Chains A and B, each alone.
Chain A
Amino acid sequence: MPEGYLRQSPLASLGLAARAATAADAAGVTMGERERVMLVNLRGDGVDRGFLDRVRQALEVDLPAEPNTAAEGTRHRVLWLGPNEWLVVAGEGEQLAAALDAALAGLHVSVTDISDARAVIALSGAQARDVLAKGCPLDLHPRSFGPMRCAQSRLAKVAVLIDQRDDAPSYDLYVLRSQARYLWRWLDDAAREYAVRIIRP
């Protein structure tokens, strides 16, 4: 892991930290970049008990089997991406990919560090759902979607993984790093009518 000052988050050039509000201004939407999140893409046979057991031992959480759901462990959050694909999310500091790779050695799996491949934008507030609805065809109404639900879809003109964190509602949006600036611009524009406050999540 390189020294922190050598690393640039995908939205670093926007100077979001400096623009983050200090006072709790009234805002319909808060937005910020979630930095230094460890991400591992995990591929494996979702019906193989041996694989699932070994993952549980390593991550201390069951891989979500139900499509479009999340599972929360003590150190990790795991998002369903496909019937044999998951995203493991952890805080900074862990050698997550190497540790998981070692723990699953000998199995037909793929453990890939993609921490640098995604930007994570945290979007929250009473109007956050409306902001997403401007560009996303998913039904995010509380009757259809809620905390511990996640889904991959489109947002504006890019592919996005949406992870709902709470009832505020708060969402973590995972987007390709190269498309993060576009998506930020788009969100900023879409949220303008609701009053946006930039935060440091």
Chain B
Amino acid sequence: MTGNFRLPSGGRIDRNRPLGFTFNGRLYRGFAGDSLASALLANGVTLVGRSFKYHRPRGIFASGAEEPNALVQLETGAHTVPNAKATQVELYEGLVARSQNCWPTVEHDFGQVADLCAKILPAGFYYKTFMWPSSFWMKYEYFIRRAAGLGRAPESPDPDRYDKMHVHCDVLVAGGGPAGLAAALAASRSGARVILADEQGEFGGSLLGRRDVIDDLPGAEWAARMAAEIAENPEVRVLRRATVFGYYDHNFLGIVERKTDHLGPNGGQGMVRERLWKVRAKQVVLATGSIERPLVFADNDRPGVMLADAARSYANRFGTRPGSRAVVFTNNDGAYGAAIDLADAGIPIAAIVDLRADVQGPLPTKARERGIEVLAGHAIAATLGSKRVQAVEVMLLNPEGDKVHGTPRRIECDLVAVSGGWSPTVHLFSQSGGKLRYCDQRLCFVPERSKQVERSAGACNGSFGLADCLDEGYAAGAAAAVAVGFEAPPRAFSADQPGETAPRALWVVPGKAPVGHSKAKHFVDLANDVTAADVRLAAREGYRSVEHTKRYTTLGMGPDQGKTSNVAGLAILAESLGKPIPEVGTTTFRPPYTPVTYGALAGSDVGDLSDVDRTTPIHDWHVMAAAEFEPVGQWLRARHYPKAGEDMEAAVQRECKAVRQSLGIMDASTLGKIELRGPDAVKLLNMVYTNAWDNLAVGRSRYGLMLGEDGMVFDDGVTTRLGENHYYMTTTTGGAAQVFGWIEEWLQCEWLDWRVWATSVTEQWATIALAGPRARDLMHELCKDIDLSPAAFPHMAMRSGRVAGLPARVFRVSFSGELGFEVSVPSSSGLALWIACMMAGAKYGIAPYGTEALHVLRAEKGFIIVGQEADGTATPIDLGMDWIVGKKKPDFLGKRSLARSDMVRRDRKQLVGLLTKDPNIVLPEGAQIVDRILPKPPMKMVGHVTSSYWSGALGRSIALALVSGGHKRHGQTVQLPLEDRVVEAVIGSPVFYDPEGKRLHA
């Protein structure tokens, strides 16, 4: 059924700006100012989707964020958005949308057979049916996922830009309806820094859809004027299309602002699509309004059944007839206002069916005066029609509210405007930790006690009348301003509100047959197809907690998060358990209030901004040399430098050979560097390192191992004495921040009176390692003011001088086992030094080597790497480094732990070398070691391989391993069961190359 359902005049649409759009492949027209939902209704499109489980026809049910039915797949390709609520999509030229949960079409949906099989799809159906056989779950899931009613995520990268913005304010006002505008007015007039955010494109909230009058102005007009006044204030930030979605600790709130969605996928060229605002507010005013609840009655899901206030909003705000003839079904006075507005818009009201036997208030009186028939004490017992409601059957309701009786009266209608009362939108309040109270008079949860610095005002506080909203809003805004030292002027605007009589609590409206005993379904949750019978079944099956019931029935777990269904579901559970509602409690509200895109959460941290890549001063050279990089912490380090035609293995072997036979050069700038100054520096070194530091001479270096208090090695490095009370410590690349933090923590928290300053200088120095038998030859050429002879400048010494004309600190250290110098120059000169070395070293065949070659070279020497051999469970003793543990030192960090009973066990895993019997097999790192092979696992594991390489220098494979009791097992053979074979290896010393260290001291 399509046609023109646009009212001849009225509404906040711009009839001079027609917009074309496509829904399910058909072209339609709407106007600027329409939502997709209002434009569809104006074209007579009432069937928009199929329900989640039963594939029943569904129409537009609401007009805002609470919409449970009208979820569409918006746009196509990379721009596609699943589960877009048609009620929240602002219409733009060329919009393309599709129904989601239907195949082949929404009109002829194959999945509808599910409705015929409803008996086998009760609450907990999945849990009951698909758990056997358990290995089949994956197969079931494949089909369930496809049958379930959700949209498809885009499959190509997101072409849009997103970002984030931190913002601080005195007062944040969440919601731009009457209460929020009043609050923002008060706060902004006081001079405070204010943020006003509303999820819609236009301020006014409920005023946009109703015909209220404030200060003799139409409500929407008043809202526009006030919003303009507020926005003029330079200290106020006004955010439209901005949903306050999360309320976190200490008044930290998240807002997602949709900046371009209303312009269409290509409308916001270059602009940020969504911005995530991270707000720290001194004061918060919540003015989030309320959400109308439906009534739970038989077949209350047919297209044409709609919330009363939504129907009224479609008429008033969008100039659209949501139907041609309406029946209003209510338990409260508010729906009478909707009925009057619909009647005034030219939609005949066939009847108002009111569950209350006695209907008196001013609004009902007004409706009766208009000649609208009011059927008090009646209920809709059935709805008729399939893809659109065609009629309802109305029957008398007994005083207890559990039965209908009498002769059903059939009333023709294509719109059932339903109201079950209002639920304050307490989501943000509840997220903030505030405590809710159930109000028996208003039949809803209202804020009771705040936990954070926040005030709820207006409908979200349970004050539904317009005058009350303005009152509370302004008062809350003014109070918030006062609390942060500002003064708001008194309020000078007002509105009237009609008095209302109490609603009737009737959570399940009886149908012709008992609930759950006929084909009629009483839906509680339209989004997830949860019925009153499902909730009652859960209660009968023993569910007591609302949290468990929710998960078992999936009540409130759909994309709408139960905005229209939670209270009714809870009430039905309470009724079934025979308890009052407050005793059953309410479910927890968690962020986000409405879905937030991953794009907004990621912001600009994507692509080459997804992480920090720290680069050394020499980085550009490595790039030009076509180095392959590997991340070490956040650093990018050159892993190897492949020449044309080389793979990694070949490049690494060539680089190793250069170091062993001639000269290699490495960028070691990433090493952590810390300067220690003060009379207690040596005391500090004695505490953080295992060895003794008292007798280190100025100009000499020493290797140290650092332990945690648990006795485990966590870093190593060389420290040099630069002056009397001046030391220079180096750390591993990955451990730099940790070591600096470790030293600071001890100095600041434990040894407050020690006189030593620690300063990180990692980035001040570019460090180049020269290694190989020709290293001294090269140094001779570049450095004239240091005596480089072995006697004058021995291994583990440091000299200052000029290298290649640059002021340098030169260290004789080696991690490769060859003669080595490490030259540090100020970072700005690092590249110059590197180039000088490359040029002067050419005659020696100097080769840059990367981290991979370094690992091979050090493994040949049996040097550990923190993170591989020292994996956080190894003590110095385990690593065979007893020589570095100062036994005579009274104390150092971790010392006491080395004497714990567990640390002296003989079967601890200890570092050993491992040589495969077949020298050509390079073991995989991480391979498990066993003594005895069994036909299949489990086998007793006695250790694992920590490092494993092909050693060019030795012409065979080598490995390091941690093996239980390994130090006493040299010469023994162990087995390594790999995926495809078992390898035999022999335990031995971890030092494979130059065990006497002659080359090092050359």
Check whether chain A touches chain B (CB < 8 angstroms): yes
User: Do A43 and B757 touch across chains, with their CB atoms under 8 A apart?
Assistant: yes
Task: Decide yes or no whether B831 CB sits under 8 A from chain A.
Answer: yes
Residues on A with beta carbons closer than 8 Å to the beta carbon of B763: 114, 116-118, 176-178
Task: Decide yes or no whether A49 CB sits under 8 A from chain B.
Answer: no
* A112 and B675 contact, Cβ closer than 8 Å, known pairs A2-B805, A176-B763: yes
User: Do B165 and A130 touch across chains, with their CB atoms under 8 A apart?
Assistant: yes
Q: Scoring B residues 755 to 783 as 1 if CB is less than 8 Å from chain A, else 0, what string do you get?
A: 10101011111000000000000000000
* A144 and B168 contact, Cβ closer than 8 Å, known pairs A110-B675, A178-B763: yes
Kindly identify, within residues 91 to 113 of chain A, every residue whose CB is under 8 Å from any CB belonging to chain B. 108-110, 112-113
Q: How far is the CB of B195 from chain A (nearest CB, A)?
A: 12
Task: Decide yes or no whether A134 CB sits under 8 A from chain B.
Answer: yes
- Which one of B44-52, B514-522, B601-609, B814-822 is at the A interface? B601-609
Task: Decide yes or no whether A133 CB sits under 8 A from chain B.
Answer: yes
Task: Decide yes or no whether B885 CB sits under 8 A from chain A.
Answer: no
User: Do A117 and B827 touch across chains, with their CB atoms under 8 A apart?
Assistant: yes
User: Do A186 and B831 touch across chains, with their CB atoms under 8 A apart?
Assistant: no
* A112 and B831 contact, Cβ closer than 8 Å, known pairs A2-B806, A186-B609: no
Task: Decide yes or no whether A9 CB sits under 8 A from chain B.
Answer: yes
Kindly identify, within residues 113 to 146 of chain A, every residue whose CB is under 8 Å from any CB belonging to chain B. 113-118, 130, 133-139, 141, 143-144
CB-CB nearest in chain A for B618: A8
Task: Decide yes or no whether A156 CB sits under 8 A from chain B.
Answer: yes
* A139 and B168 contact, Cβ closer than 8 Å, known pairs A116-B764, A193-B270: yes
User: Do B826 and A134 touch across chains, with their CB atoms under 8 A apart?
Assistant: no
Residues on B with beta carbons closer than 8 Å to the beta carbon of A43: 677, 757, 759
CB-CB nearest in chain B for A4: B828
Which of B168, B620, B829 has a CB less than 8 Å from the CB of A6? Answer: B829
Distance in angstroms between the alpha carbons of A185 and B615 in the assembled complex: 14
Task: Decide yes or no whether B77 CB sits under 8 A from chain A.
Answer: no
Q: How far is the CB of A117 from chain B (nearest CB, A)?
A: 4
User: Do A189 and B164 touch across chains, with their CB atoms under 8 A apart?
Assistant: no
Distance in angstroms between the alpha carbons of A182 and B612 in the assembled complex: 6
User: Do A9 and B828 touch across chains, with their CB atoms under 8 A apart?
Assistant: yes
Q: How far is the CB of B35 from chain A (nearest CB, A)?
A: 28
User: Do A179 and B614 touch across chains, with their CB atoms under 8 A apart?
Assistant: yes
Residues on B with beta carbons closer than 8 Å to the beta carbon of A3: 805
Task: Decide yes or no whether B635 CB sits under 8 A from chain A.
Answer: yes
Residues on A with beta carbons closer than 8 Å to the beta carbon of B113: none
Residues on B with beta carbons closer than 8 Å to the beta carbon of A192: 270
User: Do B759 and A134 touch across chains, with their CB atoms under 8 A apart?
Assistant: no
Distance in angstroms between the alpha carbons of A109 and B805 in the assembled complex: 30
User: Do B620 and A13 touch across chains, with their CB atoms under 8 A apart?
Assistant: yes
Residues on A with beta carbons closer than 8 Å to the beta carbon of B411: none
Q: Scoring B residues 390 to 430 as 1 if CB is less than 8 Å from chain A, else 0, what string do you get?
A: 00000000000000000000000000000000000000000
Which of B165, B613, B825, B830 has a CB less than 8 Å from the CB of A133? Answer: B165
Q: How far is the CB of A131 from chain B (nearest CB, A)?
A: 10
Q: Scoring B residues 152 to 182 as 1 if CB is less than 8 Å from chain A, else 0, what string do you get?
A: 0000000000011111100000000000000
Distance in angstroms between the alpha carbons of A75 and B280 in the assembled complex: 38
Q: How far is the CB of A3 from chain B (nearest CB, A)?
A: 8
Task: Decide yes or no whether A158 CB sits under 8 A from chain B.
Answer: yes
Distance in angstroms between the alpha carbons of A115 and B828 in the assembled complex: 9
How many positions in chain A have a CB within 8 Å of any CB in the partner chain?
47
Distance in angstroms between the alpha carbons of A156 and B608 in the assembled complex: 13
Which of A176, A189, A193 has a CB less than 8 Å from the CB of B609? Answer: A189
Distance in angstroms between the alpha carbons of A3 and B825 in the assembled complex: 13
Kindly identify, within residues 668 to 712 of chain B, every residue whose CB is under 8 Å from any CB belonging to chain A. 675, 677-679
Q: Scoring A residues 167 to 196 as 1 if CB is less than 8 Å from chain B, else 0, what string do you get?
A: 000000000111101100110011011000
**Max chain A CB contacts within 10 Å: which of B278, B609, B830?**
B609
Distance in angstroms between the alpha carbons of A102 and B646 in the assembled complex: 54
Task: Decide yes or no whether B617 CB sits under 8 A from chain A.
Answer: yes
Residues on A with beta carbons closer than 8 Å to the beta carbon of B677: 43, 109-110
User: Do A117 and B609 touch across chains, with their CB atoms under 8 A apart?
Assistant: no
Task: Decide yes or no whether A7 CB sits under 8 A from chain B.
Answer: yes
Q: Scoring B residues 617 to 635 as 1 if CB is less than 8 Å from chain A, else 0, what string do you get?
A: 1001000000000000001
Task: Decide yes or no whether A19 CB sits under 8 A from chain B.
Answer: no
Task: Decide yes or no whether B362 CB sits under 8 A from chain A.
Answer: no
Distance in angstroms between the alpha carbons of A37 and B757 in the assembled complex: 24
Residues on A with beta carbons closer than 8 Å to the beta carbon of B679: 108
Distance in angstroms between the alpha carbons of A10 and B280 in the assembled complex: 34
Task: Decide yes or no whether B118 CB sits under 8 A from chain A.
Answer: no
Residues on A with beta carbons closer than 8 Å to the beta carbon of B167: 133
Distance in angstroms between the alpha carbons of A176 and B620 in the assembled complex: 17
Q: How far is the CB of B454 from chain A (nearest CB, A)?
A: 19
Task: Decide yes or no whether B193 CB sits under 8 A from chain A.
Answer: yes
Task: Decide yes or no whether A157 CB sits under 8 A from chain B.
Answer: yes
Residues on B with beta carbons closer than 8 Å to the beta carbon of A134: 163-166, 604
* A114 and B831 contact, Cβ closer than 8 Å, known pairs A43-B757, A133-B167, A193-B272: no
Residues on B with beta carbons closer than 8 Å to the beta carbon of A190: 163, 604
Distance in angstroms between the alpha carbons of A112 and B757 in the assembled complex: 11
Task: Decide yes or no whether B114 CB sits under 8 A from chain A.
Answer: no
Which of B615, B759, B829 has a CB less than 8 Å from the CB of A178? Answer: B615
Task: Decide yes or no whether B980 CB sits under 8 A from chain A.
Answer: no
Residues on A with beta carbons closer than 8 Å to the beta carbon of B270: 192-193
Task: Decide yes or no whether A41 CB sits under 8 A from chain B.
Answer: yes
* A181 and B615 contact, Cβ closer than 8 Å, known pairs A113-B764, A114-B761: yes
Task: Decide yes or no whether B941 CB sits under 8 A from chain A.
Answer: no
**Max chain A CB contacts within 10 Å: which of B759, B805, B807, B832?**
B759
* A6 and B805 contact, Cβ closer than 8 Å, known pairs A112-B759, A144-B168, A177-B763: yes
User: Do B826 and A116 touch across chains, with their CB atoms under 8 A apart?
Assistant: yes
Residues on B with beta carbons closer than 8 Å to the beta carbon of A178: 614-616, 635, 763
Q: How far is the CB of B488 from chain A (nearest CB, A)?
A: 18
Distance in angstroms between the alpha carbons of A7 and B826 in the assembled complex: 9
Distance in angstroms between the alpha carbons of A118 and B609 in the assembled complex: 20
Distance in angstroms between the alpha carbons of A8 and B826 in the assembled complex: 10
CB-CB nearest in chain B for A188: B609
Distance in angstroms between the alpha carbons of A54 and B755 in the assembled complex: 19
User: Do B761 and A158 touch across chains, with their CB atoms under 8 A apart?
Assistant: no
Kindly identify, within residues 276 to 328 of chain B, every residue whose CB is under 8 Å from any CB belonging to chain A. 278, 280
Kindly identify, within residues 184 to 202 of chain B, every residue whose CB is under 8 Å from any CB belonging to chain A. 193
Task: Decide yes or no whether B541 CB sits under 8 A from chain A.
Answer: no
User: Do B614 and A8 touch across chains, with their CB atoms under 8 A apart?
Assistant: no
Distance in angstroms between the alpha carbons of A190 and B351 in the assembled complex: 58
Distance in angstroms between the alpha carbons of A177 and B617 in the assembled complex: 8
Task: Decide yes or no whether B271 CB sits under 8 A from chain A.
Answer: yes
User: Do B828 and A8 touch across chains, with their CB atoms under 8 A apart?
Assistant: yes
Residues on A with beta carbons closer than 8 Å to the beta carbon of B979: none
Task: Decide yes or no whether B611 CB sits under 8 A from chain A.
Answer: yes
Residues on B with beta carbons closer than 8 Å to the beta carbon of A41: 759
User: Do B675 and A8 touch across chains, with their CB atoms under 8 A apart?
Assistant: no
Residues on A with beta carbons closer than 8 Å to the beta carbon of B615: 178, 181
Distance in angstroms between the alpha carbons of A9 and B829 in the assembled complex: 9
Distance in angstroms between the alpha carbons of A115 and B167 in the assembled complex: 33
CB-CB nearest in chain B for A139: B168
Residues on A with beta carbons closer than 8 Å to the beta carbon of B620: 13
User: Do B764 and A114 touch across chains, with their CB atoms under 8 A apart?
Assistant: yes
Q: How far is the CB of A54 from chain B (nearest CB, A)?
A: 16
User: Do B612 and A158 touch across chains, with their CB atoms under 8 A apart?
Assistant: yes
CB-CB nearest in chain A for B620: A13
Distance in angstroms between the alpha carbons of A12 and B617 in the assembled complex: 10
Distance in angstroms between the alpha carbons of A196 and B271 in the assembled complex: 15
Q: How far is the CB of A5 from chain B (nearest CB, A)?
A: 8
Residues on A with beta carbons closer than 8 Å to the beta carbon of B193: 141, 143
Distance in angstroms between the alpha carbons of A20 and B328 in the assembled complex: 69
- 30 A-B pairs within 8 Å (CB atoms) are namely A2-B805, A2-B806, A2-B829, A6-B806, A6-B829, A7-B826, A8-B829, A10-B827, A108-B678, A112-B761, A114-B763, A114-B764, A115-B828, A116-B765, A116-B827, A117-B764, A130-B165, A135-B164, A137-B280, A143-B193, A156-B609, A157-B611, A176-B614, A177-B617, A179-B612, A181-B613, A182-B613, A189-B604, A189-B609, A193-B270
**Further pairs besides A10-B617, A133-B166: 4, Cβ < 8 Å:** A134-B164, A143-B193, A144-B168, A182-B613
